[in-house]
Chains A and B, each alone.
Chain A
Amino acid sequence: MDIALAVMRGTFGAYRGRTLVATLAIALGVALGFAIQTVNRSAIAEFTQGVATLSGDADLVVRGPADGFDEQVFARIAAERGVSAASPVVEVDARLPARDDTLALSGVDAFRAAAVTPALVGRGAAAVDLLRDDRVFLSPAALAMVARAVGDTLDVQAGTGVATFTIAGTLDAPAGRRLAVVDIAAAQERFGRLGRVSRVDVRVRPGTDVDAVRASIAAALPAGVTVVRPDETSALASRMTRAYRVNLNVLALVALFTGSLLVFSTQALSVVRRRTQLALLRTLGLSRRRLVGILLAEGAAIGVVGAMVGIAAGYALAAALLRAFGADLGAGFFRGDAPALAFSPSAAGLFALLGVIAATVGAWLPAIEAARASPAAAIKAGDDESAFRGLVSPWPGVACLVVAAAVVALPPIGGLPVFGYAAIALMLVGTLLLLPRLARALLARIPAPRASGAALALASLRAAPGQATVSLAAIVAAVALAVSMAIMVSSFRDSLAAWLDRVLPADVYVRAGGAQSSGWLEPSDQRTLASLPGVRQAEFMRVLRVLVRDDEAAVVLLARDLDRATASERIALIGDAIDVPTDRPPPAWISEAYADRFGASPGATITLPVAGRAVAFTVAGLWRDYARQTGAVIVERASYVRLTGDARVNDAALWLAPGATADAVRRAIDERFGKDRLTIATPDEIRALSLAVFDRTFAVTYALEAVAIAIGLVGLSATFGALALARRREFGVLRHLGMTRREIGAMLAAEGAMVSAVGLVVGLVLGGAISLVLVHVVNRQSFRWSMDLHVPAGQLVAFSLALLALATLTAVVSARRATAGDTIAAVREDW
């Protein structure tokens, strides 16, 4: 007979319900983590594959600002000695009238593209369509998006007008990629890009050193234009999304952590319940090491089963998340992509291993406790309370908190708040290790109740803080994590709302298109808007994406109609603005993200690529920007137009005359420009939309929060039930002494309420501390956004009351089973 199997069979047979709950908790944690990882990997893989396919045979890619660069650069590149072929591309985010989406449209020279990026050459009935200026080729995903077929027409906004194309054929684009291709000359002429290109795909001569060619090309490029390898594009996209993906993965690991706590609770109580049995085995000759091994194997077995279930459920969940939230899980990075879900054995193996580790770690402390017990003492029935007396030592918990305080403010590693996450983990573990002492201290402060049942409940808890910890651990972790995320999300939302109020002072906002859009407003359009009936004042803004450094994501340049003297009234400045003297370079106001990325500060001089030249600006102030994570710079539009000659704008802000209404102005704009050519919104509408996007982005976070709470409550239920069953003899004695069933139920309800109250207090304080790290460290280092702390007091009070009620009810319901049976006969049970 294998003693290990015999012990484990006895455990799993006797505690089937609790074992099942612990297994499901591990499965849930694994499923969430694997699902998020799978969606992220699929999106990145799809994007990478897409870049690779569309890059074709290109060895290098030359990129510049969103509105393009001089096409003479292409001519110089094509003439480079090491270049065998060069293909110029004009990239436009094509606005489709009456739709919110844009379609990625590329203008190519079909002959040159055939040699470098054949995937961009359309496939149609007539080859001559490749050269016609009114023909477009769409990928299958783009055809589905616009609900058209080959031969139909497609309208694309151009400025404030419409360019109509006939769909001449399809593209061999990667599945899910929405792409349109037109002739390059058509793109330049119809979308206002005459003399400019967005990118040049380069093929190097066979046998030539690619890096040497790269260096030669780079040396001759104007400011703001860079040359990179194609795979660096996907690496950049991966880096841009990394912080968001890591955040979601951390949240999933949180669910796994709470699952681990549930395993701890289950195993701890199981060990206490079997204390005399295990002591008997030790007395009969089972070594300490073997006992630890058996108990760890129990935990590992829960982990293995939970992991297998979790991986299967995780794949199904990934499909559901993809359908519900899209490939970017709400972040907005891969909008427009519809990747196929890819199963990664390595990711599955990793998360399965994490599940097994979580469960085994959860079983470790109870195993150590069981091995440490003296068999002679433990074999005496009634020795239960000496179990977990070792938890009382405070030093490991204190050490965790001290280290957390020491590392929390350390800088990020690779743009990730590694030390912030470590500090949170240490705060959590440290508090849990200190929980017996905290529980004892808090329970000592509860005044002695008058009702005998409640008094007994308090006496029972005070005498066994270690066992109370077993009940508390899962609920403290769940409350702390839920509270910290609630405060963080509330702070973020509140800060976002306040920021929107500051940056939207006008009455009506008009948008023709984004940085690379096919929509824009010519000076004549601007004059038309400014002179509309009811419009008192109009300010305009040009939006561009520029490359400040070769290997970094683009920065957004906002050229605004600003009076530098009153700029602080229009910009959400942090701190005071600096007066820039006229003998210094013109002013620029940089966002927090820009300052963090490039190390600039008010008073410093920065260089921005404008019209192919490196232009100096003086940093006049720092502003908060929640719209652009990669950084943004505001400059005076007058300076911009003087430097570039580009008088077009993307956005307009209109102030209305007294008595004028936004609806009337909206109607006037539609009449003048055509319905749905321009996006028109009031500040309230923009605010509502922005907050809706925010809520959607955090939907996954909210779901994970709810999961953590559910696991905590399930943990509480399981441990209360187990503790009640372990105390059947005690209940039997009380029944003999004259306590009614209802009074015993009331005693257990009081116990449940007290334990939950202690858990809530500790969880609220810990959650508050963790929220400070999330707000001031994790978010700041991940996304470069600062925010003002806002505690949703009403929400937290309601949550606390609800949790207290639920936990008390859980305790009563779980314990009812223990008192429903023959507790009177339990008095005569030996074990």
Chain B
Amino acid sequence: MIRCEGLARTFAGPPPRPLFAGLKLDVARGEIVAIVGESGSGKSTLLNLIAGLDVPDAGSVVVDGVALSALDDDGRTRFRRERIGFVFQAFHVLPYLPVGENVALPLALNGVRDAASDPRVAALLDAVGLGDRAASPPRELSGGELQRVAIARALVHAPAVVLADEPTGNLDPRTAASIVELLRDTVKRQHATAVIVTHSRAAASAADRVLELRPDGLVRLQG
């Protein structure tokens, strides 16, 4: 599902600092991979390259059979809209939309009319335990509940790939554990592929495979 070959990227600086070079990554369809590493090692940058939000200095990224380097910025954006879901550390739920419309946002961006009423929205809210909160404004939800909304949003359009950047970074351990479990369950149920960047052992433990990003590339730690 995800294949990175000879990937290289340099942090712009100043001064410029190479993050990684010659990086290779293969993620199979339906697999959940966790990537750990020191702060500043380039974990989020790797995620951005997979999402098409950034372009590598060298190498290639192929996601779901599509070579991202062959696409321009708009092309990579449309690809991301259709095939990728995102979960952020800080949730990033839009404060001026109720919960249901936040979840429906990817459907609306993909041209689905009256997206908030789409049955997929209600189904995912149920799946994350927020079935009765569709009309609630985000400010009424706790951190854990907001992350559940974000997970629902990431999966509503049945993406091929889910990318999660520190999904439990702003949560207490108990909530983080429940979120990790939820993320794994919903990804697996949707037969999606996931890459999770994390510092958390609990989050890493939810993965099928854990890799560590080092300057010389990815090293398997477990799985």
Contact = CB atoms under 8 A, between A and B. Distances in A.
Contacts of A824: 48, 53-54
Nearest to B51: A736
B53 A460 contact: no
B96 A460 contact: yes
Contacts of A738: 77-78, 80-82, 84, 106, 109-110
Nearest to B79: A738
Interface in B95-134: 95-97, 101, 105-106, 108-111, 113
A740 B53 contact: no
A464 interface: yes
Interface string B135-179: 000110000000000000100000000000100000000000000
A828 interface: yes
B81 A737 contact: yes
Interface in B53-85: 53-54, 73-74, 77-78, 80-82, 84
A450 B54 CA distance: 30
Contact of A463 (B81, B88, B96): B96
Contacts of A455: 108
Contact of A459 (B51, B84, B96, B138): B96
B95 A382 contact: yes
A828 B53 contact: no
A585 B74 CA distance: 90
Interface residues of B, number: 34
Given A450-B113, A452-B109, A455-B108, A739 B96 contact: no
Most buried by B among A384, A736, A824: A736
Nearest to A461: B96
A464 B96 CA distance: 8
Contact of A452 (B86, B95, B108): B108
Most buried by B among A385, A740, A742: A740
B92 interface: yes
B219 interface: no
A740 B73 contact: yes
12 contacts: A383-B139, A384-B95, A385-B95, A456-B94, A459-B97, A460-B96, A736-B92, A738-B77, A738-B110, A824-B53, A824-B54, A827-B90
A440 to B, nearest CB: 13
Nearest to A742: B74
A525 to B, nearest CB: 82
A733 B53 CA distance: 11
A242 interface: no
Given A385-B95, A452-B109, A459-B97, A733 B77 contact: no
A737 B106 contact: yes
Given A455-B108, A738-B106, A824-B48, A733 B78 contact: no
A821 to B, nearest CB: 13
B186 interface: no
B205 interface: no
B96 A733 contact: no
B187 to A, nearest CB: 18
Contacts of B88: 733, 736, 827
Interface in A789-831: 824, 827-828, 830
Contacts of A830: 90
Given A452-B108, A455-B108, A824-B48, A736 B53 contact: yes
B44 interface: yes
B73 A741 contact: yes
Contact of B109 (A384, A464, A737, A828): A737
A737 B101 contact: no
> Which 10 pairs of residues, A with B, have the shortest CB-CB distance?
A738-B81, A463-B96, A452-B108, A733-B92, A740-B77, A738-B80, A736-B86, A740-B74, A460-B96, A824-B53
A735 B53 contact: yes
A759 B191 CA distance: 50
Interface of A: 381-385, 450, 452, 455-456, 459-460, 462-464, 729-730, 733, 735-742, 824, 827-828, 830
Nearest to B96: A463
Nearest to B54: A824
A388 to B, nearest CB: 14
Contacts of A462: 96
A736 B101 contact: no
Contacts of B165: 828
Contacts of B139: 382-383
Given A459-B97, A460-B96, A463-B96, A737 B105 contact: yes
Given A455-B108, A738-B82, A828-B89, 16 more contacts: A382-B139, A385-B96, A452-B108, A460-B96, A730-B94, A736-B86, A736-B92, A737-B81, A737-B109, A738-B80, A740-B77, A740-B78, A741-B73, A824-B48, A824-B53, A827-B92
Interface of B: 44, 48, 51, 53-54, 73-74, 77-78, 80-82, 84, 86, 88-90, 92, 94-97, 101, 105-106, 108-111, 113, 138-139, 153, 165
Nearest to A464: B96
Nearest to B115: A452
A729 B113 contact: no
B117 to A, nearest CB: 12
A739 B90 CA distance: 19
A735 B138 CA distance: 20
A675 B111 CA distance: 81
A463 B95 contact: yes
Contacts of A452: 108-109, 111
B77 A739 contact: yes
Nearest to A384: B95
Nearest to A386: B139
Nearest to B110: A738
Nearest to A729: B92
A385 B96 CA distance: 9
A747 to B, nearest CB: 11
A737 B150 CA distance: 11
Nearest to B89: A828
Nearest to B86: A736
Nearest to A741: B73
Contacts of A828: 44, 89-90, 165
Contacts of A741: 73-74
Contacts of A827: 88, 90, 92
Nearest to A381: B90
A106 to B, nearest CB: 76
A384 B94 CA distance: 12
Contacts of B89: 828
Contacts of A464: 96
B95 A735 contact: no
A383 B139 CA distance: 8
Contacts of B113: 450
A738 B110 CA distance: 9
A736 B51 CA distance: 8
A709 to B, nearest CB: 30
Nearest to B77: A740
B101 to A, nearest CB: 7
Nearest to B94: A730
B109 A739 contact: yes
Contacts of B44: 828
Nearest to B114: A448
A735 B48 contact: no
Contacts of A456: 94
Contact of B94 (A450, A733, A740, A742): A733
Contacts of B51: 736
Contacts of B82: 738
A379 B44 CA distance: 26
A737 B86 contact: yes
B211 to A, nearest CB: 21
Most buried by B among A385, A729, A827: A827
A827 B150 CA distance: 14
A382 B138 CA distance: 10
A462 B96 CA distance: 8
B52 to A, nearest CB: 10
B146 to A, nearest CB: 10
A725 B177 CA distance: 35
Contacts of B80: 736-738
